[in-house]
Structure 1
Amino acid sequence: MSISVTTWHLEQTSRADLAPVEGPPSGQDVRIARAEVPSPEFSRFLYTAVGGDVSWTDRLDWPYARWAEYLGRPGVETWVAYERGTPAGFIELEAGQDGSVEIVYFGLLPAFRGRRIGGLLLAHGIERAWDLAERWPHAAPTKRVWLHTCSKDGPHAKANYLRRGFRVYKTTVADEPEVASPGPWPGAGPLTSGAAAGE
């Protein structure tokens, strides 16, 4: 069985395209840091924890060596949002040879969605895409930041990118094999008010 999937390709062609974002609510302790040591275990955790309920399946069969090779490539970066020390989501960047930087993956763990962390993480990741060449001496200066999202992604994905200043430059529709989503860890979802408060 197949399903019809719409894919939107979006881009920014100037750092000035990035729309500012309001920070997290007062008192919400959120920080964003780069995972500078390539760690297949940590990256696979983020990939499965964020993408389990939005049909991220293309890397599920990657062996350890492939994860290690990919994460160790110059110009590949993973930036992680933490709330009070707990991983809340990530954004993965990959530099191209032509001055383009792709946002390969971006998202939040289910418990952290809807809390204004996503916009903050996305804006931070876009800024890091624009200055990526400063951290990688052999990378070309960034001329374009791009990504694609599709109708299988979360319901707010495309709107979130548009709010941050991306523009759609290509839309495609194709039939794809229907692949069962691995789903989130059973019971994963919004934190209860007691758990969020540390009770």
Structure 2
Amino acid sequence: MYKTIPVATSYYEHQKGAPVFSLPQNAKLHLWQPDIEAYLNVYRSIGEPWGWTGRILMPQEELKAILQDENNFLFQLSLGGNFAGFAEFQQVATDFELVYFGLHPSFIGKGLGKGFLSTACQMAYKAGASRIWLHTCEFDHPNAAENYQKAGFEKYHSEICHEPYDEDFLEKFKRQFPRIDFTYEKQ
């Protein structure tokens, strides 16, 4: 069961001329063209700890259309031959939204985030981006905003959005952070 709750959401824009950070020698970032099942497996493995639901609740035909859209770019990060993370950009003209970005839980805290994000942005610029932006929320990894800023993103807007979250995720989060008021609607 999912509940829709108000969520503090922040928007960031990549600054041209930001420092470029590289990946370790044994890391590879490449275009990825998964089928729906492979995509959702990766999406869940990375997003479940942070309550990601967007692609899970989406009708499969809609997700299939997104994955096959020539304006949707997926990059997969591997480290020593092991899957480590993915980045997904949606292009509208020369605006590229970083729709999803994350590391597999087993690779978090190993110093990959900044280089992964920087390299993914450089690949988006090579694909024609003149602007790269993203949004994140209060349920994201505690170091996400700091990582975005270190990689050259600056916050330009904040708002409260209403997003669906799995009830089990919310209960777990509420136990970790009891000060947060969870006023929500059932979906």
TM-score tier (shorter): 0.7 to 0.9
Unpaired segments ≥5 residues, structure 2: 171-187
- Code of the aligned partner of 1:162: Q
| CA deviation vs aligned residue, 1:25-84 (integer Å, no higher than 9, x gap) | xxx72211111x342222111111100010101211334432221111112111111122
Q: 2:70 aligns with which of 67, 74, 88?
A: 74
How far apart, in 2, do the equivalents of 1:181 and 1:107 lie? 21
- Indicate conservation of the 8 Å contact 1:7/1:149, yes or no: yes
Per residue, is there more strand in 1 or in 2? 2
1:55 equivalent in structure 2: 51
Per residue, is there more helix in 1 or in 2? 2
Q: 2:130 aligns with which of 137, 143, 150?
A: 143
- Indicate conservation of the 8 Å contact 1:50/1:110, yes or no: yes
How far apart, in 1, do the equivalents of 2:136 and 2:100 lie? 9
Q: Which residues in structure 2 correspond to 1:79-98 (within 5 Å)? A: 79-97=75-93
* Structure 2 residue 130 is matched with structure 1 residue 130: no
Give the direction of change, closer, same or farther, for the CA distance of 1:21–1:176 in structure 2 (3 Å limit): same
Paired residues, what number?
Answer: 168
How far apart, in 2, do the equivalents of 1:72 and 1:175 lie? 28
Task: Give the secondary structure class of the aligned counterpart of 1:74.
Answer: coil
Task: Give the secondary structure class of the aligned counterpart of 1:93.
Answer: strand
1:11 equivalent in structure 2: 13
Give the direction of change, closer, same or farther, for the CA distance of 1:181–1:167 in structure 2 (3 Å limit): farther
How far apart, in 2, do the equivalents of 1:23 and 1:68 lie? 30
Q: Between the two proteins, what is the percent identity of the paired residues?
A: 29
1:106 equivalent in structure 2: 101
Aligned-pair Cα RMSD in Å: 2.3
Q: Which residues in structure 2 correspond to 1:35-50 (within 5 Å)? A: 35=32, 37-50=33-46
- Code of the aligned partner of 2:89: L
- Indicate conservation of the 8 Å contact 1:75/1:132, yes or no: no
Give the direction of change, closer, same or farther, for the CA distance of 1:49–1:182 in structure 2 (3 Å limit): farther
- Indicate conservation of the 8 Å contact 2:20/2:119, yes or no: no
Q: Which residues in structure 2 correspond to 1:145-184 (within 5 Å)? A: 145-174=132-161, 179-180=166-167
- Indicate conservation of the 8 Å contact 1:2/1:178, yes or no: yes
How far apart, in 2, do the equivalents of 1:59 and 1:181 lie? 18
Task: Give the secondary structure class of the aligned counterpart of 1:50.
Answer: helix
1:30 equivalent in structure 2: 27
The Cα of 1:5 is off from its aligned counterpart by 2.3
How far apart, in 2, do the equivalents of 1:87 and 1:177 lie? 28
